[in-house]
Amino acid sequence: MPRFDAEVVVMPKPEVADPQGQAIEGALARLGLTGEVQARHIHVGKVFRLDLEASDRAAAEQALHTLADRVLANPNIETFQLKVSSH
Amino acid sequence: MNLAAAITPDLVAGHGLRPAEFDSIVQALGRDPTLVELGIYSVMWSEHCAYKHSRPLLRTLPTRGERVVVGPGENAGVIDIGGGLCVAFKMESHNHPSAVEPYQGAATGVGGILRDIFTMGARPIALLDNLRFGEPDAPHMRHLIEGVVEGIAGYGNCVGVPTVGGDIMFDPGHAGNILVNVMCVGLVRTEHIRRGQAHGPGNAVLYFGSPTGRDGIHGATFASGELSEEALERRSAVQVGDPFMGKRILECTLELIERGLVVGIQDMGAAGLTCSTCEMAGRAGTGIEIDLDRVPQRAPAMSAYEILLSESQERMLAVCEQTRLAEVLEVCERWECGGVVIGQVTGSGRVEVHHRGEVVASIPANHLTHGAPVYHPPEAAPAAPEEFDLPPVLPGEDFKTALLALLASPTIASKRWAYRRYDHMVQIATVLRPGDADAAVLRLPGPGEPRFLAVTSGGNHRLVARDPRAGAALAVLEAARNLVCTGAQPLAITNCLNFGSPERPEVFGQLRRAIEGIAGACRALDIPVTGGNVSLYNESGGVAIPPTPIIGMVGLIEREEHITRPGWREPGDVIYVLGDPAAGLGGSELAKYLVGGDLPGVTPRGPLPPIAIDREVALLDAVRSAILAGLIRSAHDVSDGGLAVTLAECCLLSRGGHGAWIHETPDGDLALTLFGELPPRVVVSVRPADARAFEALISARGVACAEIGLVGLPGLRCADQAAISHSEMQQAHETPPWESLR
């Protein structure tokens, strides 16, 4: 079966509070790193990389979507994006 | 969303408002409400905020007492425990959010009840959680259980408040609608008690804490016909808790109060900014004017509707005099809580909201807080439970099998799998920890001889389902018994009433009877109800949950030597059962276990045995008197699983590993005696030298007292039944629920 490189990027939904991102914004200000360049709206997510074996790309994408929706992301508070490329 | 949308009957209905309610709004305003106003009314007149169906019933609860400092209607009840110290405590539900997103739902439930307590000026010292799940064998239920327990731990542990008690029960009736009730207890010096009132026109209205985002915006919004994809996506935006911000606003609030810098203060919980402004103005008989453009916002381009109805967590509203403003802002700055003045108190009696240069809402505060209609829905008497025949006397091997099965059943088994994840020692005041005793005991601060606070919360819905009035009274009595068994004097209760839709006659019938039961038990015990929460509409698939009133109770232990534990102390001590003999198996864990098919003809239903409240009060009085007289070595209340489970727990909780030899059971039917749960009883052990004095003291109070055995070698031997070893009991009791079901 063909192999695929897969990547799932999970991010908090834009409308949901992101205490981690807010903490980093606070840290930037405390460390004096907000002088010349303003870094704002920081959001913290996570990236998963995995190998997939599937009959074709569509099947790989389908399987990856299920995986992301059911396990890797919490659809209540997170969104995800999928990338599938040939190995 | 189109803010200038025409107010159609559909839109009104979509906001959960009835035509008559809408007419009342039009009359109060002298015009049609704007969409923003409709949203405000929708929230403020919801059952959650206005108690439309339950208010007349709640008024029948006894709320007065010489210790009561603040009764129902404020953020939390407060009682005086002497020495200039008061206890603030309250219970709340977070059922629906936890069913959708268990971790954040439970975490924000903890955050919310903490705010209710420190808003009163009290420092939170303990949390308790009462959880109701479906049977834990379904994978989805396991996910909910794990998430809720982690969420409680995640918030409580980070914020530094110990989780010391509560209960967990599993019942198919809660599978579609789990319950997450959280109680918080705090301490406050009498002079620091603050109320959520916006006094003094001209005073500044200050916002501090997290910025406002589009979290948990009232579901009714989206019932209107103009749903975009984007809006649908937003609806699922659940509230995410930030315990570190929670800790900062806790410290900031307490400093503001202790330094006398604020006139009134209120947290933003359900319905956020709307609820807090309206309630503060309503309670003080003043008005409030706020400008939404000054409200810190997390998301760009939020509408007035969204800002007002957002349920973002960790936000506070304070009222302070203009002359103290600089000091207040300095405190907020130091705690990194970002204080902003968003408006002022007015004498207009109205809540007036400005946004982008326009007045988007102007409502009489009093109409919002006190104008909600009260409903007296039709009610029906709950169906009488079926009778069933008592099972025959259990032969030897069956006793052992039944006891081990009950010890391993999810509701009775040790909850170590849950509370081991909770920090129950932070603040280092916890004397009796979760699993140690019938209630948690905490050391109180202060000079002189140490005093202690005992806290407990629980309620057996299986009893309430059979007889709402008696079952709810029994929940109060059990809470009192739990406290008394640790040596405490019960002082006051809070409650959380979890029921189905009050618009169902049988549910309203349950609610009325349950409240009558609570009121009756409180009057008999002479303790007040200082507040609570009502959670209605707990249903799934058109079926209501079993009626589940949860009772939280606090009590006082004046002397260290009165603290009593359930475990056996010394071999040779005499074991007594106090209270009237068991009179039935209706609603018992044994009956539930037997439905598994072991004994034909037994159904889980069956009426409760009759309960005489005055006899229960006498029992409590007798146990407490004997503890104060120094005659009791150990005490444990007989509850789920009956006498057999209680005896097993006394063995398991014995620090020396002692067991019990039960040579006599007080009456004939062994199954009834060993596994019957009602009427309530208490197991105590007494030094042989004190036995005479003890018996005399108990008998003088007209309480039945039966000597049933002796503390002895490890294990449990019951008359001629097969002996059960310590390790067999321990293994059964310590097995997590999902493993016992494999």
- Give A-chain residues touching B234 at CB under 8 angstroms: 15
Comparing CB atoms, the residue among A19, A22, A76 nearest residue B101 is A76
| pLDDT tops 60 at residue B731 | yes
- Give A-chain residues touching B104 at CB under 8 angstroms: 76-77
| pLDDT tops 90 at residue B593 | no
Instruction: Specify the pLDDT at position B220.
Output: 40
Structure token pair of residue B279: 């309630």
Residue B24 parent element (H or E): helix B19-29
| pLDDT tops 80 at residue B306 | yes
Best CA proximity match to B538, nearest among B144, B102, B97, B177: B177
Q: Give the largest Cα separation in chain B, rounded.
A: 85
Q: CB distance from B322 to chain A under 8 Å? A: no
Instruction: Specify the pLDDT at position B311.
Output: 87
- Residues B336, A26: C-beta atoms closer than 8 Å: yes
% of chain A surpassing 90 pLDDT: 55
> ipTM exceeding 0.90?
no
Q: CB distance from B214 to chain A under 8 Å? A: yes
List the single best residue of A69, A76, A78, A79 to mutate versus B (max B Cβ within 10 A).
A76
What pLDDT digit, counting tens, does each position of B546-574 carry? 999 999 999 999 999 999 999 999 999 99
Interface of B with A in 240-269 (CB under 8 A): 240, 242, 244-245
Structure token pair of residue A5: 């490189």
B547/B54 Cα distance (integer angstroms): 14
How does residue B219 score in pLDDT terms, banded at 50, 70 and 90?
very low
- Residues A16, B237: C-beta atoms closer than 8 Å: yes
Helix axes B35-44, B272-284, angle to 10 degrees: 70
**Residue B377 contacts residue B503 (beta carbons within 8 Å):** yes
B619/B703 Cα distance (integer angstroms): 6
Q: How many domains are contained in chain A? A: 1
Q: What residue has token string 């705690």?
A: B335
Q: CB distance from B336 to chain A under 8 Å? A: yes
Alpha helix positions (H), B526-680: 589-594, 613-628, 642-652, 670-675
Instruction: Specify the pLDDT at position B2.
Output: 44
When pLDDT is averaged across residues B530-543 and rounded to a whole number, the result is 90
- Residues B299, A15: C-beta atoms closer than 8 Å: yes
Instruction: Specify the pLDDT at position B217.
Output: 67
Question: Which range is least confidently modeled, B55-59, B135-139, B320-324, B441-445?
Answer: B135-139
List the single best residue of B140, B150, B297, B298 to mutate versus A (max A Cβ within 10 A).
B298
- Give B-chain residues touching A42 at CB under 8 angstroms: none
% of chain B surpassing 90 pLDDT: 68
Which residue among B53, B94, B367, B726 is the active-site one?
Answer: B94
Which residue among B15, B48, B461, B636 is the active-site one?
Answer: B48
Mean pLDDT of all residues belonging to chain B? 89
| pLDDT tops 50 at residue B470 | yes
Q: CB distance from B236 to chain A under 8 Å? A: yes
> Prior bond to B679 cis, omega within 30?
yes
Residue positions counted in chain B: 742
How does residue B666 score in pLDDT terms, banded at 50, 70 and 90?
low
Number of CB atoms found within 10 A of residue B417's CB: 18
Q: Which residues pair with B492 in a beta bridge?
A: B554
Q: What is the DSSP letter of A58?
A: H
- Give A-chain residues touching B210 at CB under 8 angstroms: 17, 22
Comparing CB atoms, the residue among B215, B245, B336 nearest residue A16 is B215
Structure token pair of residue B412: 């009775």
B668/A50 Cα distance (integer angstroms): 67
Instruction: Specify the pLDDT at position B623.
Output: 98
- Give A-chain residues touching B244 at CB under 8 angstroms: 19, 23
List the single best residue of A11, A13, A15 to mutate versus B (max B Cβ within 10 A).
A15
Q: CB distance from B315 to chain A under 8 Å? A: no
Best CA proximity match to B347, nearest among B283, B286, B284, B281: B286
Nearest CA in chain B to A74: B101
**Residue B240 contacts residue B253 (beta carbons within 8 Å):** no
**Residue B111 contacts residue B423 (beta carbons within 8 Å):** no
What pLDDT digit, counting tens, does each position of B596-639 carry? 433 333 344 567 888 899 999 999 999 999 999 999 999 999 99
pTM for this one? 0.91
Q: CB distance from A35 to chain B under 8 Å? A: no
Q: Nearest 5°: phi and psi at B280?
A: -65, -40
B249/B257 Cα distance (integer angstroms): 12
Q: Which residues pair with B187 in a beta bridge?
A: B87, B123
What pLDDT digit, counting tens, does each position of B323-348 carry? 999 999 999 999 999 899 999 999 99
B94 tagged catalytic:
yes
Q: CB distance from A20 to chain B under 8 Å? A: no
User: Which residues are CB-neighbours of B741 under 8 A, at least 6 positions away?
Assistant: B135, B136, B137, B410
- Residues B240, A18: C-beta atoms closer than 8 Å: yes
Domain containing residue A62:
3-86
Comparing CB atoms, the residue among B101, B312, B336 nearest residue A17 is B312
Question: Which range is least confidently modeled, B161-170, B491-500, B598-607, B655-664?
Answer: B598-607
Comparing CB atoms, the residue among B100, B240, B245 nearest residue A16 is B240
Structure token pair of residue A9: 């990027």
Please tell me the number of Cα atoms within 13 Å of B554 on its side-chain side: 32
Q: Nearest 5°: phi and psi at B322?
A: -55, -35
Question: Which range is least confidently modeled, B88-97, B366-375, B473-482?
Answer: B366-375
Q: CB distance from A16 to chain B under 8 Å? A: yes
Nearest CA in chain B to A40: B298
Q: CB distance from A17 to chain B under 8 Å? A: yes
List the single best residue of B100, B158, B214, B310 to mutate versus A (max A Cβ within 10 A).
B214
- Give A-chain residues touching B336 at CB under 8 angstroms: 26
Bigger pLDDT: A42 vs B382: A42
Residue A32, domain CATH: 3.30.1280.10
Q: CB distance from A23 to chain B under 8 Å? A: yes
% of chain B surpassing 70 pLDDT: 92
B508/B493 Cα distance (integer angstroms): 22
- Count A/B contacts: CB-CB distance under 8 Å: 48
Q: CB distance from B229 to chain A under 8 Å? A: no
Bigger pLDDT: B97 vs B732: B732
Question: Which range is least confidently modeled, A31-45, B129-143, B223-237, B325-339?
Answer: B223-237
The DSSP line for B599-638 is STT--S--PPPP--HHHHHHHHHHHHHHHHTT--SEEEEE
Structure token pair of residue B115: 């705010």
B236: distance to nearest CA of chain A, Å? 6
Instruction: Specify the pLDDT at position B222.
Output: 41
Instruction: Specify the pLDDT at position B394.
Output: 58
B192 tagged catalytic:
no
Instruction: Specify the pLDDT at position B260.
Output: 94
- Residues B101, A15: C-beta atoms closer than 8 Å: no
| pLDDT tops 60 at residue B68 | yes
Q: CB distance from A11 to chain B under 8 Å? A: no
Best CA proximity match to A41, nearest among A21, A23, A17: A21
Radius of gyration of chain A (CA): 17
Instruction: Specify the pLDDT at position B601.
Output: 35
- Residues B100, A76: C-beta atoms closer than 8 Å: yes
Looking at residue A80, its amino acid is: F
Q: Which residues of B262-300 are buried (b: 16+ CB within 10 A; e: fewer)?
A: bbbbbbbbbbbbbbbbbbbbbbbebbbbbbbeebbbbbe
A48: distance to nearest CA of chain B, Å? 22
- Residues A76, B336: C-beta atoms closer than 8 Å: no
Residue positions counted in chain A: 87
When pLDDT is averaged across residues B423-442 and rounded to a whole number, the result is 92
Instruction: Specify the pLDDT at position B221.
Output: 43
Q: B481 burial class (0-12, 13-18, 19+ CB within 10 angstroms)?
A: buried
B676/A48 Cα distance (integer angstroms): 55
**Residue B544 contacts residue B505 (beta carbons within 8 Å):** no
B237: distance to nearest CA of chain A, Å? 6
Best CA proximity match to B736, nearest among B411, B442, B472: B411
Nearest CA in chain B to A18: B240
A64: distance to nearest CA of chain B, Å? 21
- Give B-chain residues touching A12 at CB under 8 angstroms: 240
What pLDDT digit, counting tens, does each position of B250-275 carry? 999 999 999 999 999 999 877 789 88
CB under 8 A, 24+ apart: contacts of B521-524:
B521/B472, B521/B473, B521/B474, B521/B476, B521/B477, B521/B613, B522/B61, B522/B62, B522/B476, B522/B493, B523/B62, B524/B613, B524/B614, B524/B616, B524/B617
Q: What is the DSSP letter of B38?
A: H
| pLDDT tops 50 at residue B234 | no
| pLDDT tops 80 at residue B125 | yes
